[in-house]
Amino acid sequence: MTTFHVLGFPRVGPNRELKFSQERYWRGEVTEAELLDVAKSLRETNWKNQAAANADYVAVGDFTFYDHILDLQVATGAIPARFGFDSQNLTLAQYFQLARGNKDQFAIEMTKWFDTNYHYLVPEFHKNTVFKANAKHYVQQLQEAQALGLKAKPTIVGPVSFLYLGKEKGQEAFNRLDLLPKLLPVYVEILNELVKAGAEWIQIDEPALAVDLSQEWVDAVKASYETLSKAVNAKLLLATYFGSVADHADLLKALPVAGLHIDLVRAPEQLAAFENYDKVLSAGVIDGRNIWCANLNKVLDTLEPLKAKLGDRLWIAPSCSLLHTPYDLSVEKELDAELASWLAFTLQKVQELNVLKTALNEGRPAVATELKASADAAQARASSARIHRAEVAKRLAELPANADQRQSPFEKRIEAQQAWLNLPLLPTTTIGSFPQTLEIRQARAAFKKGALSLEDYTAAMKKEIAHVVKVQEELDIDIPVHGEAERNDMVEYFGELLDGYAFTKFGWVQSYGSRCVKPPIIYGDVVRPEPMTVSWSSYAQTLTKRPMKGMLTGPVTMLQWSFVRNDIPRSEVCKQIGLALNDEVRDLEKAGIKVIQIDEPAIREGLPLRRADWDNYLAWATEAFRLTSYGIEDSTQIHTHMCYSEFNDILPAIAAMDADVITIETSRSDMELLDAFVKFKYPNDIGPGVYDIHSPRVPTEAEIEHLLRKALEVIPAKRLWVNPDCGLKTRAWPETTAALKVMVDVAKKLRAELNA
Ligand code: GLN
Ligand code: ZN
């Protein structure tokens, strides 16, 4: 019999119940007991859904109130000592303080979980970190599931990935891997607590195996699993995902664990390296990272021969935890039936595994109806006219080879731009959005609901634009913007105006803690049916003599923050979006908006996990960006903006985007980025952010001056712009004008100095 198991389930609940309950608890509106109740019932729902789909083991320990790596910090006693908390007796209130900070301590830093949009809390390791086991989190969930009569498999992130994901802190330099000998006994203790509570199998995730690991980390895997297997009397299932681990195949196959999980969606080719494995092989065949139905017959074509080899040692599973997919498609009543028939969310995915399991155990005829439906859906999707639009393919195919090159090199373009822009040294601008006040959000919501007419909505937005333009005039900002009042979200706004995009109503996935995002779905060829921003920007331009900056979201960011179709390469989707945006850029240019910013905050986070794949990604990503400017005049000035990441290691690629001006987040790191410019001479204009917009605090003149002087040391004055770190939409008005005034004053002061 083939075993079907789940690596992990979404935690926030079918309707984000956990989020709402947590936030109420944080506001003091519900008691801890009420929150605990909500959590318990969500776990029960999750397990029942897994059991209902015929899963042989439900996942336990995957539920968390905030983050599974924070749970692991508590379980191993490795919470930051700076909080002064006792990990053995941590209260829920303290747990949330670790995640969100308190009046004395900043929160534990957060960063992206591999190449997903989920964020984990980064463990802070010190040379003398003392580990202490506290298995409660895992044991309690195991017992709860058992009490429901379910067979459960605890899941926990393994010691190597745990150390790998952390950071070294403290004065003394050390290697966090040196903590492993102290950490392993604590893992042994935790795992043995689970054995005592009745765990037969324990899933230990080592996702770090899918990134580039140096030899010492690979050796640590060997040492860890030799120790754990010897000391723990349970069957250990070592789980890998997000990429191929074929380069470690010999090592992994020789480990004394009872089973291995591999991701056959991201890296189907790695199967060849593992199909002769002599223990349990868990095949991750259903995509845990995307929302498309599987073609079940095709999956069976892979699984059946594997079953012939492995017999009952074949397990099946989603490729990774389902935490990255929305909960349930069946509640999406507004999606059209055709599109819906191509999609599978968490609950649909476990049903797919149910069908696969039955087919493997009883033969395909036992699930003939389901298999036919799956084949029909795949067939329909492959041939749908909504997906493949001949004109899109033709346009891409017929692009001239130099379509991604501006007419002239930067030195010449910037002259043509300066000729009409007439900007002073250290020109000032902002990143695009201005405060999204309650009025703006209410007007947008009313318009969406149909409670506000298009005329009234347009009038409300125009009023806002007029206000924003006036403020910038008064502040004497050289390149004003219209303020983006009409945009709820920088990707959703454009997605809704492009063909090939669809939106769900409840398709939430956890981003961090109680925060969820609802990524749009790119299902077909992308086309821009009509201008998207021209009327707003043109209206803004009528209000001022200063050159108005048009504002678009770039193709890589549009791609990165969406669920992307899996029937053509991402690179091609990205180029399609680039060309759709090119239509907009040309229309803006025609309308006289000749400074245009194309935001790419997500370009860095799209980097593949393995360095060997970086060049290829950066080549097509920067090409897609450059395609947005296909055929425009030299005198049109293209800006781009980046944030959320450190960009030091991809500066050449950023230069290859060939934007005339780049504005980039730097203030939070005291312009650390600029150090990289000492080595790499960034060729075009650049505006390193001079103050942090994430805080309501108004920067002092001295702070901004300090940053700008630092910038002037490595960037020629005539290349340097002055701007905040990012958009201002999350800020309130008073601090916004106050901060911008300080910024402009400092720019003028230094400008006078430079001109003297
Ligand atoms: N133009 C966008 C804004 O100002 C940029 C947002 C971003 O960088 N994430 O809001
Ligand atoms: Zn930004």
745 annotated to a ligand binding site: no
Q: Which atom of ligand 1 is nearest to the CA of 641?
A: 8
Q: Which atom of ligand 1 is nearest to the CA of 643?
A: 8
- Residue from 557, 603, 641 to probe ligand 1 pocket by mutation (most atoms less than 8 Å from CB): 641
- In short, whether 344's Cβ falls inside 6 Å of ligand 1 is no
- In short, whether 634's Cβ falls inside 6 Å of ligand 1 is no
Given this model, what pLDDT does residue 135 score? 98
- Answer yes or no: is pLDDT of 670 > 80: no
431 annotated to a ligand binding site: yes
463 annotated to a ligand binding site: no
- In short, whether 642's Cβ falls inside 6 Å of ligand 1 is no
DSSP 700: P
Determine the average pLDDT of the residues in 489-499. Answer: 95
Strand partners, 729: none
Given this model, what pLDDT does residue 612 score? 96
Given this model, what pLDDT does residue 610 score? 96
293 annotated to a ligand binding site: no
Q: What is the mean pLDDT of the chain?
A: 96
Given this model, what pLDDT does residue 51 score? 98
Strand 259-263 versus strand 661-664 pairing type: unpaired
For residues 197 and 142, the answer to whether their CB atoms sit within 8 Å is yes
Local structure of 563: helix, strand or coil: strand
480-to-425, 543, 641, 723 alpha-carbon distances in Å: 16, 11, 15, 11
- Answer yes or no: is pLDDT of 672 > 80: no
- Answer yes or no: is pLDDT of 671 > 80: no
For the domain made up of 410-485+527-755, give the CATH fold: TIM Barrel (3.20.20)
- In short, whether 598's Cβ falls inside 6 Å of ligand 1 is no
- Answer yes or no: is pLDDT of 557 > 80: yes
- In short, whether 727's Cβ falls inside 6 Å of ligand 1 is yes
Distance 644 CA to ligand 1 centre (A): 11
* DSSP per-residue letters across 722-741: B--SS--TTS-HHHHHHHHH
Question: Could you report the per-residue pLDDT of 427-465, keeping only the tens digit for each?
Answer: 999 999 999 999 999 999 999 999 999 999 999 999 999
Task: Output the six-digit token pair for 717.
Answer: 């004055």
Kindly indicate the confidence band of residue 676, based on its pLDDT and cuts at 50, 70 and 90: confident
Distance 297 CA to ligand 2 centre (A): 44
Ligand nearest to the CA of 599: 1
Given this model, what pLDDT does residue 751 score? 98
Task: Kindly state the percentage of the chain with pLDDT values over 90.
Answer: 94
Determine the average pLDDT of the residues in 578-593. Answer: 98
Given this model, what pLDDT does residue 679 score? 86
- Please tell me the residue having the least CA distance from ligand 1 atom 1: 432
Determine the average pLDDT of the residues in 94-114. Answer: 93
Range 3-64+137-383 classified under CATH 3.20.20.210: yes
Determine the average pLDDT of the residues in 505-530. Answer: 96
- Residue from 430, 431, 642 to probe ligand 1 pocket by mutation (most atoms less than 8 Å from CB): 431
Q: Which atom of ligand 1 is nearest to the CA of 553?
A: 1
Kindly indicate the confidence band of residue 524, based on its pLDDT and cuts at 50, 70 and 90: very high
- In short, whether 579's Cβ falls inside 6 Å of ligand 1 is no
Question: Could you report the per-residue pLDDT of 287-322, keeping only the tens digit for each?
Answer: 999 999 999 999 999 999 999 999 999 999 999 999
Closest by Cα among 430, 426, 423 to 468? 430
Domain boundaries in the chain?
3-64+137-383, 410-485+527-755
Kindly indicate the confidence band of residue 646, based on its pLDDT and cuts at 50, 70 and 90: confident
- In short, whether 431's Cβ falls inside 6 Å of ligand 1 is yes
668 annotated to a ligand binding site: no
Given this model, what pLDDT does residue 478 score? 98
- Answer yes or no: is pLDDT of 695 > 90: no
Instruction: Please give the positions annotated as active site.
Output: 694
- Residue from 484, 486, 494 to probe ligand 1 pocket by mutation (most atoms less than 8 Å from CB): 484
661: amino acid identity, one letter: V
* Dihedrals phi, psi of 748, to nearest 5 degrees: -65, -40
- In short, whether 490's Cβ falls inside 6 Å of ligand 1 is yes
- In short, whether 596's Cβ falls inside 6 Å of ligand 1 is no
Q: Which atom of ligand 1 is nearest to the CA of 729?
A: 10
- Which residues contact residue 237 at a Cβ distance below 8 angstroms, ignoring those fewer than 6 apart? 153, 201, 202, 203, 204, 257, 258, 259, 260, 261, 280, 282
- Residue from 726, 729, 730 to probe ligand 1 pocket by mutation (most atoms less than 8 Å from CB): 726
- Please tell me the residue having the least CA distance from ligand 1 atom 5: 727
Distance 630 CA to ligand 1 centre (A): 23
Determine the average pLDDT of the residues in 736-745. Answer: 98
Kindly indicate the confidence band of residue 694, based on its pLDDT and cuts at 50, 70 and 90: confident
The residues whose Cβ lies within 5 A of ligand 2, an ion, are 601, 643, 726
Given this model, what pLDDT does residue 13 score? 96
Please work out, in degrees rounded to the nearest 5, the angle formed at the alpha carbon of residue 299 by the alpha carbons of 295 and 302: 150
- Please tell me the residue having the least CA distance from ligand 1 atom 9: 601
Kindly indicate the confidence band of residue 743, based on its pLDDT and cuts at 50, 70 and 90: very high
CA separation for the pair 560, 525 (Å, rounded): 16
For residues 266 and 241, the answer to whether their CB atoms sit within 8 Å is yes
Shared fold status for 3-64+137-383 and 410-485+527-755: yes
Q: Which atom of ligand 1 is nearest to the CA of 727?
A: 4
Q: Residue 183 burial (CB < 10 Å; 0-12/13-18/19+)?
A: buried
- Which residues contact residue 151 at a Cβ distance below 8 angstroms, ignoring those fewer than 6 apart? 56, 57, 58, 200
Closest by Cα among 194, 165, 187 to 68? 165
